[in-house]
Amino acid sequence: MRVCLVASNRYPVAEPFAGGLEALTHHLARLLVGRGHDVTVYAAAGSDPALPVRALTPPRFRPSAVSMRDVNAPAEEWMADHHAYLDLMLDLTRTAGDRFDVVHNHSLHHLPVAMADLLPVPLVTTLHTPPLPWLESAVAVSGGASSFTAVSECTARAWAGTIEARPVLNGVDTRAWRPGPGGGPVVWTGRLEELLPRLGPDARLVGHLDHRRLARLLGRASVAVVTPAWEEPYGLVAAEAMSSGTPVAAFARGALPEIVAEGTGVLCAPDDVTGLAAAIEEAAGCDRRAVRRHAVRRLSAERMVAEYEQVYASLAHGEVAA
C-alpha cells in the first residue's frame, strides 16, 4: 500500500528519540518499507535520512509587527506549528488521491484531525496521549472523518468519552533490543528535571544514550525500574527492558499493567516507594528467558506493524479502524 505517515514537526524522527511517538514512527516506517509498502514520512527536519522523509516545515511566513502587538497574539512557535500542518493538509487535499491509499497521523496537532474530511483518502489517527483539549476540539468539528487507534487499552479508555479507538499496542524492535546476561545494577531510564543533589553516592548518571548503548545497559541490568508520574499511555522503557530479558519493577499506572505480565516483573501501587523497593527485590528473581519470550510474542514491532496493516486494509475497503 501507499502510506503517508505524519509525525511531529518539532522533534526529528531520529536517535536518540525525543520520546515514544518518534520511536514508534521510526519503527513503523522502517518495517513498512521492509514489508514492501510505499511509505512517505512527514517529520521534523533532521529526521533519519535512511527513512523516506519529507521535512514538515512551515512555509515562509512572519506575522507583521502590528499584528503581534495584539494582546492575544499567539506565540511564534504556535504559529509555526499551525502553518506546518496547514500547509501539509492543504497539499494532501490536492494530491493525496494520486499518491496515497491511507494517511496515518501520529502528530499531536489538531489540524490533521479537523481537516480529515477534506482528504480524498482515509485518515487514521493514533492517540499517543490522554485526552488533549485541542484534539478533543478537532474531533468535535471533524464529523467523524478520522478513524482512531490508541497505543494501549488504557489510552483508548481515557478517550472513550470522546471517540472510539482501536487499541494497537506499541512495539519495540526485538532484534535491536537483544537479551543480555543481567546480574548488574538496577537501571532507571526516562526524563529527569532535577539531578543534583538528589542523586546519592550509589547512583551513576550515564546521560542520554542512543539505542545501541542503552540496549547494552539494559541487557546487563538485573531489574529495570519504571516510575511514571502520570497515566503512562504505553510504557516504552518497560517494553525495551523486557525485550532485553530484564524484568521490570514499576508503579501500576497507565498501561503498564497491560504490558508487564505475571512472571515478567512486579507492579506496586503508584508512588509507593516502599512497595517499589520490595518489587525490585521480587522482580530480580524472574526468569529472564520468560521475560524475553513475552516481549517477542506480545511487544514486538513486527506484531504492531501487522496490526496496522490490518487497519490500513480495513480503511481501504471503507471500514472504520475500530
Residue-wise pLDDT for 63-91, tens only, equals 888 988 888 888 888 888 999 999 999 99
C-alpha closest to that of 6 among 128, 98, 117, 139 = 128
Buried b (16+ CB within 10 A) or exposed e, 89-125: beebeeebeeebbbbbbbbbbbbbbbbbeebebbbbb
As given in the structure block, the three cell numbers for residue 221 are 541490568
Residue 104 belongs to what H/E stretch? strand 102-105
Q: Which ranges constitute the DSSP H helices of 35-132? A: 65-68, 76-99, 111-114
pLDDT in tens, 182-237: 999 999 988 777 776 777 888 888 888 888 899 999 999 999 999 999 999 999 99
Is pLDDT above 80 for 320?
Answer: no
Using 50, 70 and 90 to split pLDDT, how confident is the model at 319? low
Q: Decide: 22 and 12 in contact? Cβ < 8 Å.
A: yes
Give the CA dihedral 233, 237, 242, 246, nearest 10 degrees.
-140
Q: How many CA atoms lie within 13 A of 101 on its CB side?
A: 15
Q: Which three cell numbers stand for residue 250?
A: 514499576
- Which CATH topology does 187-298 take? Rossmann fold (3.40.50)
Closest C-alpha to 38, from 6, 87, 9, 5: 5
Can you tell me which residue has the cell 532484534?
Answer: 175
Question: What superfamily would CATH give domain 2-63+71-171+301-316?
Answer: Glycogen Phosphorylase B; (3.40.50.2000)
Q: Where does the chain hold its CATH 3.40.50.2000 domain(s)?
A: 2-63+71-171+301-316, 187-298
Prediction pTM value: 0.91
Give the Cβ contact number of residue 309 at 10 Å.
Answer: 16
